[in-house]
Amino acid sequence: MQNIYGITKTNLEEYFINNNEKKFRATQIYEWIYRKNVKSFDEMSNINKDLINKLKKDFYFGNIDIIKKQEDKLVKKYLFSLSDGNKIESVVMYHDYGISICISSQIGCNMGCAFCESGRLKKVRNLQTSEMVLQVLKVQNDIKERISHIVIMGIGEPFDNYNNLLDFIKIVNNPYGIEIGSRHITVSTSGIVPKIYDFADQNLGVNLAISLHAPNDLLRSKIMKINKVYKIDDIIKAVKYYISKTNRRVTFEYIMLDGINDNKENAIELAKLIKGINSYVNIIPYNETNNLEFKRSSTLKISKFYDILKKENINVTIRKEFGSKVSGACGQLRAENQGGV
């Protein structure tokens, strides 16, 4: 049996065709699930009984449970329990342009970035497509408002769960599904270069964010293990290909670590690296945790770094910081509830 929340509309159409049914049945099912929010095939009044019985044999309505929620001004952080007892996180943020959710794509992470709380708890498994979709649905149901933007930037490396990621995007982007516009979906990667090329060829039209965090290989390799496999030059070439194929601007994420990557020379080198690329830099003040030795750059250092990039005509923003009453670092809430701290 397959979790109904994990099947794309195209695959559902194929299912109906293979069972001698009209493919418009897939549209009906999608509308019941994602528009009318039903939790049972028996509630689908325009589907005949024989087909309902067939659907019950082949699909089930899976679930994930909210077991903890932290709230502060303009932010809510959710801890979910999955059917196998594992736990994942999502974060909801309220912006002037809408409501965004940052979802997880894996249980734990194998990328091993030195500054990342998620990486302390190693990868257990990939999330199923349905478990990614349900993060969005459960939060929408909890807040009683529509999510307008999705960022796949929570626990895990999305490109390390590639096929499930693609199906997730197709489901949430489908006009009969959750109906999030492609320009409102962002995938963040630490830089798995072959997947960047393949993702560009998928022509999904979504946004790509690169967790860069350093302007040269020597520094990046010290804080991000993946850089020992995929160097910065390889990432830049892949980014240029992505832009040429999608005509979408790419984000370079840059976490400011005190005394590590936040000096004037780093800023100048970063500007030189990305100059001329259709991109912008998202400067991220670091969320300190008790488990890692890295410290947050001072507000003054962040401001100076920003000013240097601006002077070099680089598009740059400083990520808005939300409430301090939630366990801010990605993976921190899960760690606190795993006995891992």
Q: Could you give the CA distance from residue 77 to residue 91 in angstroms, rounded to a whole number? A: 4
- Are 16 and 25 contacting, i.e. CB atoms less than 8 angstroms apart? yes
Q: What is the DSSP letter of 290?
A: T
Nearest residue to 44 via CA among 57, 63, 25:
25
- Are 54 and 65 contacting, i.e. CB atoms less than 8 angstroms apart? no
Strands, E assignment, 222-300: 250-256, 279-285
102 in catalytic set:
no
116 in catalytic set:
no
Q: What does residue 171 show for φ and ψ, rounded to 5 degrees?
A: -70, -50
220 CA to centre of own chain? 22
Q: Could you give the CA distance from residue 212 to residue 252 in angstroms, rounded to a whole number? A: 6
CA neighbours within 13 Å on the CB side: how many for 154?
33
Angle 279-209-312 from CA coordinates, rounded to 5°: 30
> Which bin fits 94, alpha (ψ -120 to 50), beta or left (φ > 0)?
beta
Q: Of 102, 109, 113, 330, which is the active-site residue? A: 330
- Are 106 and 125 contacting, i.e. CB atoms less than 8 angstroms apart? yes
- Are 328 and 149 contacting, i.e. CB atoms less than 8 angstroms apart? no
In order, the DSSP letters of 164-220 are HHHHHHHHHHSTTTT---GGGEEEEES--HHHHHHHHHHT---EEEEE---SSHHHH
What sign does the dihedral 258-264-265-268 (CA atoms) show? positive
Q: Of 89, 117, 157, 253, which is the active-site residue? A: 89
Q: What is the DSSP letter of 33?
A: I
| Residues labelled as active-site residues | 89, 330
